[in-house]
Amino acid sequence: MSENTNSQNNPPTPRFAQPDPALHSPTKKGPLGRAFAPVAGFGVTFSTLFRKPVTVQYLPHKPGSAQIRPRYHGMHRLNRYADGLEKCVGCELCAWACPADAIYVEADVNRPGAQYSPGERYGKVYQINYLRCIFCSYCIQACPTRALTMSTEFEVADQTRESLIYEKQDILVPLAEGMLAPPHPMVEGTTDADYYKGKVTGPSAKQVAWVRENRPDDPTANTARVVNYESEEAKH
């Protein structure tokens, strides 16, 4: 009986020491602390008023190209090879990789009189729905030929929903100086792998002759920068 009474009067010592209750008690503020208590939460806000802003007001100020980061995820672009053929082969990997289902691709077969890209196929129909696009760049990573890249163009807003569905002609880069407008054959003696490796640096004389024969009114046949691939091979 006495042992039970002693155990009740003297509870067992806890295994771990309890923290000091004073550590959890609110600090008692002085007169100055109580005066600034209502605005203490605005300390971070007030400190940023004297810092240089990171963002820029879009209008009336419009950022120039120098202010946009080179790897900015802007609007998409379909690229070309140096002779003018399109890089897109219509594999649809970009459409499969898109988490927002914003890309639609329809491929067609390259034919002797209508070859738009190296290899067997090309992207006949290419659509990007910018109402769905989240600019994640998964499509860029999935593209095996670097046909699809993202530019620094950021102005996508328009008046209607239909105008935000971009077609192939809207995102295909224009012909650069010296390129030959497709369709036309590949550079003679080359494969699609040669194109991917960057061995094609411009249109050949036979390509220009083919365009002049089949499309006499094509102005790019007169401005094409012809590359002599026989001399290039001799150098290497």
In a domain, 119, yes or no: yes
Q: What is the pLDDT of residue 7?
A: 54
Q: Which helix (DSSP H) or strand (DSSP E) does residue 4 occupy?
A: helix 2-9
Q: What is the pLDDT of residue 231?
A: 64
What is the Cα–Cα distance from 190 to 199, expressed in whole angstroms? 9
**For residue 102, what are the CA distances in angstroms to 72, 76, 138?**
19, 12, 12
In a domain, 187, yes or no: no
Distance of CA 160 to the CA centre of its chain: 24
Higher pLDDT, 62 or 29: 62
Higher pLDDT, 71 or 110: 110
Q: What is the pLDDT of residue 60?
A: 78
Q: What is the pLDDT of residue 98?
A: 98
Q: What are phi and psi of 196, to 5 degrees?
A: -65, -35
Q: What is the pLDDT of residue 13?
A: 64
Tokens matching residue 211: 């365009």
Judge whether residue 65 has pLDDT over 80. no
Domain containing 107 equals 75-170
Higher pLDDT, 41 or 231: 41
This prediction has a pTM of 0.73
In a domain, 116, yes or no: yes
Judge whether residue 87 has pLDDT over 70. yes
Q: What is the pLDDT of residue 53?
A: 78
Using CA atoms of 56, 60, 62, 63 in order, give the dihedral in degrees to the nearest 10: -20
State whether residue 205 is helix, strand or coil: helix
In a domain, 37, yes or no: no
In a domain, 96, yes or no: yes
Q: What are phi and psi of 123, to 5 degrees?
A: -85, 100
The tens digit of pLDDT for each residue in 3-27 reads 555 555 666 666 666 766 666 666 6
Q: What is the pLDDT of residue 232?
A: 59
List, in sequence order, every residue forming a beta bridge with 108; answer none if it has no partner: 122
State whether residue 124 is helix, strand or coil: strand
Of residues 110, 85, 91, 68, the one with CA closest to residue 176: 85
In a domain, 178, yes or no: no
In a domain, 31, yes or no: no
Domains of the chain: total: 1
Average pLDDT, the chain: 87
Judge whether residue 172 has pLDDT over 60. yes
Mean pLDDT of 170-175: 96
Q: What is the pLDDT of residue 45?
A: 84
CATH number of the domain encompassing residue 159: 3.30.70.3270
In a domain, 159, yes or no: yes
The tens digit of pLDDT for each residue in 178-211 reads 999 999 999 999 999 999 999 999 999 999 999 9
Judging by beta carbons within 10 Å of its beta carbon (0-12, 13-18, 19+), is residue 141 exposed, middle or buried? Answer: exposed
